[in-house]
Amino acid sequence: MSEVEISISEKWGYNGLAAIKEASTAYKMAMGFFALLFLVGLAFGLHGFFVGYRHVYGVTREIAWGLLISTYIFCVVTSTGLCIVSSFGHVFGNVAFMPIAKRAVFMSIVFLVGGFCIIFFDLENPFRLFIWNVVSPNLRSNMWWMGTLYGAYMVFMMLEYYCLLNQNHSVSRIMGFLGLAVGIAAHSNLGGIFGMLHGRPFWYGPYLPIYFIFSAAMSGGCAILFFTTLGARFNPEVMNETMQRAVKAITLLTIYFIVVIMFFTLWKIITGLVSEGKAPVIESFLYGKYAVNFWFFEVFLGMILPLALLIISKGRKYNLIMWVTGIQMIGIFFMRYDIVIPGQMVPVYHSLGVVEASHLLSYTPSWHEIMISIYGVSFVALLYLAGERLFNSHQLQKHEIVPEGAYVCPGCGAIHYMKEGETIEEAMKRHHGGW
């Protein structure tokens, strides 16, 4: 092994804080804007934390999980999705997907931390979590598993990212596989939290754990398309041949998963209509209080429009892809909202026929909840913008700084080192296994 000594920053493609300073004024202003939103949202959160959430949140005794939980779910679904999409390439060796891996893993961690930022302000006693989750675990509780598995997921993803930066692809692959396995366990378990509350018919059943995984894959495809095409606007150099191939492959994949989610949604509606417990919720989707959420945001913006436009884009019209996936992310946000809130709208004593429970419950997010959601999303946006600059658009080094004895892999775009007497093709096979 004759690896050439190079500095960590070169190896990682880490451009340092100077890269941010060199950014255009508009870029810096965008970062400043999100930093401001982040701080303002944080201030709202801390205010709520100290005066008591009861006074400032819109959640009630009956609808105890509100906008914060749905935004948290939006973030962690996207995180798992990015992990799933990244794994196609650098875990399972599908060369076409490899160039997006670094950005996807980075954003996966960012979304997860963004989700944690939000749920911190939903838990009434977040600090007790760290003590009692360890000291007094309830292994039958999905909530316990959620904390534990997402914790493990974050560790694996960080290790994976570190190995990706270090170009240690064999370890990164193992970490990626473990991250994927734990991520899928964590995420289906998140669906299980809802799916195992058998007092809530709209949620109860095996549907949500399965739906969450496919929905995550769709979100992941959508998110990486958005972040890649947006990244190419900042640094057009990124959109090289391998990246063009990756975008095409992911567009196809996202189209596929949108169709899967349409199928899921269709059957949710059809089966729900014949269930006494689910029908009031489904009816509110079809022509009631949640009709706009469902038809416009969830179905039109989240499924039909992106499906049509992604097909039209053929994976080549990058501006179109950027706009449509950006819009789809708004639709996906409403998809999450439409799981969490309507699931609680039927009062538990509704079937008893009493006056107090004769109407469906309603919920309106308060300003505090909206600002705390914005705080989490701004965190994601800020770190995305910072990451693009700090890590050289998540590409590896430019050609001129490829060290001696190394080459830019035509498959994954990473820098590979050749052993003595090895050709590029042999080295590529060694790095990417027999795939």
Partner 1 sequence: MRIHGIKFDDTKNEGTGSVTKMERRKFLKMGFAIAGVFAGGKILGLTSIVGSARASDGIEVEAYPYSPHYSMVVRQAICIDCERCVDACKKTNHVPDYGYRTRILTKKYEGKWDKAVEFIPVLCNHCNNPPCVRGCPTKATYKDPITGIVRMNSKKCIGCKTCILACPYDARYFCEEKRAIDKCDFCWDERLSKGEKLTACAAACPTGARTFGNIADPDDIVYKLVHQAEEVVWVLRPEDNTKPNVFYMKGTIGSVERILKGTKYRYFDPTKI
Contact map string, positions 57 to 96, toward partner 1, x by CB under 8 A: ----xx-xx-------------------------------
The answer to whether 399 contacts partner 1 (rule: CB under 8 A) is: no
CB of 218 to partner 1, least distance (A): 26
Give the nearer residue to partner 1 in terms of CB position, either 126 or 433.
Answer: 126
Do residues 411 and 432 lie in contact, with contact meaning Cβ atoms separated by under 8 Å? yes
Residue 161's nearest CA partner among 201, 211, 101 is 101
Do residues 78 and 377 lie in contact, with contact meaning Cβ atoms separated by under 8 Å? no
CB of 27 to partner 1, least distance (A): 39
Q: Between residue 40 and residue 59, which ones bind partner 1 under the rule CB under 8 A?
A: 52, 54
With vertex at residue 372, the alpha carbon angle to CA 326 and CA 290, rounded to the nearest 5 degrees, is 60
What H or E segment, with its residue span, contains residue 407? strand 406-408
Give the nearer residue to partner 1 in terms of CB position, either 10 or 62.
Answer: 62
The Cα–Cα gap between 403 and 392 comes to: 17
Q: Which of these segments, 8-16, 211-219, 327-335, 342-350, binds partner 1 (CB under 8 A)?
A: 342-350
The answer to whether 141 contacts partner 1 (rule: CB under 8 A) is: yes
The answer to whether 28 contacts partner 1 (rule: CB under 8 A) is: no
CB of 6 to partner 1, least distance (A): 46
Do residues 262 and 303 lie in contact, with contact meaning Cβ atoms separated by under 8 Å? yes
Residue among 2, 36, 39, 124 that touches partner 1 (CB under 8 A): 124
Q: Which residues contact 47 (CB under 8 A, 6 or more apart)?
A: 56, 368
The Cα–Cα gap between 411 and 240 comes to: 12
Token pair 């179109």 in the structure block, residue:
320
Total residues contacting partner 1 by CB under 8 A comes to 42
The Cα–Cα gap between 198 and 121 comes to: 26
Q: Between residue 355 and residue 374, which ones bind partner 1 under the rule CB under 8 A?
A: 355-357
The Cα–Cα gap between 41 and 379 comes to: 10
Contacts with partner 1, residue ranges (CB under 8 A): 52, 54, 61-62, 64-65, 122-126, 128-129, 132-133, 136-138, 140-144, 146-147, 193, 196-200, 344, 347-349, 351-357
